[in-house]
Structure 1
Amino acid sequence: MQLYNTLSAKEREALIEEAGKERLTISFYKYAHIGNPQILRNHLFLAWNDMEVLGRIYVAHEGINAQLSVPAENFNTFKKHLDSITFLENVRLNIAIEQDNKSFLKLKVKVRKKIVADGLNDNTFDVTNKGIHVGAEQFNELIEDENTVLVDMRNHYESEIGHFKNAVTPDVDTFRDSLDIIEQDLAEHKEDKKLVMYCTGGIRCEKASAYYKHKGFKNVYQLEGGIIEYTRQVREKQLENKFLGKNFVFDHRRGERISNEVIAHCHQCGKPCDTHVNCANEACHLLFIQCDECAEAMNNCCSVDCKEIHALPYEEQKRLRKGKGASNKIFKKGRSPVLKYKK
């Protein structure tokens, strides 16, 4: 049995171009008790590989978190397979706002300790005692209430390019970093304010809402389906869109345009821009915001040093990287001192 990828990203990209078929980018999650995540992982890989599904899927004892791309012609087969798994029957699927056939180029199904790295000990509180889920219409009403505190549960590089108006956007690198900071900052409002949270697709709020209720917050709400589902409902029901800018996504697209506002700036020149890129120097790979002009001037790199390395013959670049671990800058997400206009 083949339980791993046999094609490189470049080979898969060529096959997608050759096929010329429409693909759908989809995400979903489900908290559930999974006795043997490895067995489920293997089952999913075998079934989805046959359907030409690509993506990044995490399976743990606590559930599943999936971001994937499926050929449109195979969607019904894929959905039927999901429904055949008891705890995934009729699971909500978040369909991407902007489609890209190359959003994912490999199928990676991994067993993890958690489906989101939250740093919490789930045995210390009731993870099923979640906040009130609200749709786009009620969410819009709630965030206009003066007794509401709206909190973005995403990381700084996500909220930098897009967020709801008047939202608290913690300056954090990871989800786990935000949990205690938000509790401390809002400690005096545990009883008198409505705590309303949102994230990309809802999964981070699912755990955070239960955690904050455990910590004594009396009125906890979360945006059902996150920004992705909110946008779908706003367009379907012709509601006012209160989201500004882009929604950061964790695939090759890196962002979906939700509104026309550009609220971020190029990290190199400071002009309005909200396009995330990775430094072309593979020894760096820093995620940062870069405009077209700076991309051309810097050869898609974050610094002069990286530009010089990227200009070397590829074999020389490989020689320089040999024996060295991945650059820590990969995890800095725009924090590097080489970026003059970083947030």
Structure 2
Amino acid sequence: MPLHNRQDGRLLKEKMRTSPVKRVTISFYKYHHITDPQNFRDALYKGLESFDVMGRIYVALEGINAQISVPESQLDNFKTYLYSIHWLDQVRLNIAVQDDGKSFFKLKILVRKKIVADGLDDASFDVTDQGTHVDAKTFNALADDPNTVIVDMRNHYESEVGHFKNAVRPDVDTFREELQVVEDLMKEHKDKQLLMYCTGGIRCEKASAWMKHQGFKNVFQLNGGIIKYAQEVKAEGLENKFIGKNFVFDERLGERISDDIIASCHQCGAPCDDHTNCKNDGCHLLFIQCKSCAEKFNGCCSPECAHVITLPEEAQRELRKGVNKGRQVFRKGRSENIRFNAVDE
């Protein structure tokens, strides 16, 4: 059987959007030494495909990082299969807060050097000496303590649409870059409580160990990240200290945690926190766009891109030929084509 889905992505997206199948969006991760990542990847693909699982999974020597969607009818079977892998038995599954079941349109499992690109030499410090994991109730108590510094361990385009109150939000494009920035920003606060958070917890696992290695004594991390926090405050009737949206790395691009809209449309400046990707296949810039600008620019980031998508497909392909977009992913929310962006704040 083929271990890759080679079907046209546009057709798969349309199939996903029109499918009546109820699906559950789940994320999970686990640091664990995998002897043969490629063999594990192939076996995992066969297992998950049999349950019609869709999503994006990274496998590396150091473990697994997964964001997936599972048919509701197959959820129990999926859990039984996943927990049958001994080192994933009872792994925490983060269930999406706001889910329309349209988060992924195919299964993609990639073997990587690391499950999160952090740029760290893991042999140079104890990656298991992590910060203290805290639940929502303890997080809130620490957040109210004046001796606590809250640090957002996500990128600028994530914190732009939602973050915890009073959090330090580094203006960075990548997690690799953020580790050094946070270390520098926090040097004068080594005597304080360092309270870290991210989307689902995985970035804080490595970051908290790194900060302890750098001499920080009181390091805490939000267990399960923003996703778990939102579920706990709702279930326990706690104060929600997160404002806005939680950015997620799937087709949804965000799940609402509070009703606050703290960001602006990158094209007109109106209150908006809806991310989208430019509809020009030669661009795909991620940016925030309101409904009015989406109509005006036909879902594109600029008049230039809006013009390109009116051209015949063959002409569009010709324009893209030989053009290396580079790491366009790191230009999320930062472009000369958009007027109101994170750089201007």
With normalisation by structure 2, the TM-score equals 0.97
Contact 1:37 1:111 in 2 (8 A): yes
Q: Distance in 1 between matches of 2:241 and 2:197?
A: 13
Pair 327,280 (structure 1): closer, same or farther in 2 beyond 3 Å: farther
Instruction: Choose 165-174 or 33-42, whichever is displaced more.
Output: 33-42
Pair 330,210 (structure 1): closer, same or farther in 2 beyond 3 Å: closer
Contact 2:174 2:330 in 1 (8 A): no
RMSD: 1.2
Q: Distance in 1 between matches of 2:11 and 2:108?
A: 16
Contact 2:195 2:221 in 1 (8 A): yes
Instruction: Choose 98-107 or 217-226, whichever is displaced more.
Output: 98-107
Pair 214,328 (structure 1): closer, same or farther in 2 beyond 3 Å: closer
Residue 15 of structure 1, CA deviation: 4.3
Residue 27 of structure 1, CA deviation: 0.2
- 2:52: which partner in 1? 52
- Code of the residue aligned with 1:271 in structure 2: it is A
Pair 239,125 (structure 1): closer, same or farther in 2 beyond 3 Å: same
Residue 14 of structure 1, CA deviation: 4.8
Q: Distance in 2 between matches of 1:178 and 1:2?
A: 38
Q: Distance in 2 between matches of 1:38 and 1:20?
A: 34
- 1:28 maps to 2:34: no
Q: Distance in 2 between matches of 1:264 and 1:251?
A: 20
Instruction: Choose 165-174 or 299-308, whichever is displaced more.
Output: 299-308
- 2:224: which partner in 1? 225
Pair 330,177 (structure 1): closer, same or farther in 2 beyond 3 Å: closer
Q: Distance in 1 between matches of 2:78 and 2:236?
A: 28
- 1:95: which partner in 2? 95
Q: Distance in 2 between matches of 1:270 and 1:169?
A: 21
- 1:76 maps to 2:79: no
Matched residue of 1:177: which SS?
Answer: helix
Matched residue of 2:108: which SS?
Answer: strand
Percent of aligned pairs sharing the same letter: 58
- Code of the residue aligned with 1:308 in structure 2: it is H
- 2:256: which partner in 1? 257
With normalisation by structure 1, the TM-score equals 0.97
- Code of the residue aligned with 2:26 in structure 1: it is I
Q: Give runs of aligned pairs for residues 1-343 of structure 1, distance below 5 A.
A: 1-16=1-16, 19-190=19-190, 192-326=191-325, 329-343=328-342
- Code of the residue aligned with 1:129 in structure 2: it is D
Pair 10,279 (structure 1): closer, same or farther in 2 beyond 3 Å: closer
Contact 1:283 1:327 in 2 (8 A): no
- Code of the residue aligned with 1:239 in structure 2: it is L
Contact 1:212 1:220 in 2 (8 A): yes
- Structure 1 residue runs of 5 or longer lacking an equivalent are none
Residue 314 of structure 1, CA deviation: 1.8
Residue 309 of structure 1, CA deviation: 1.1
- 1:263-295 per-residue CA deviation (whole Å, 9 max, x = no partner) reads 000011111000001111111111000101111
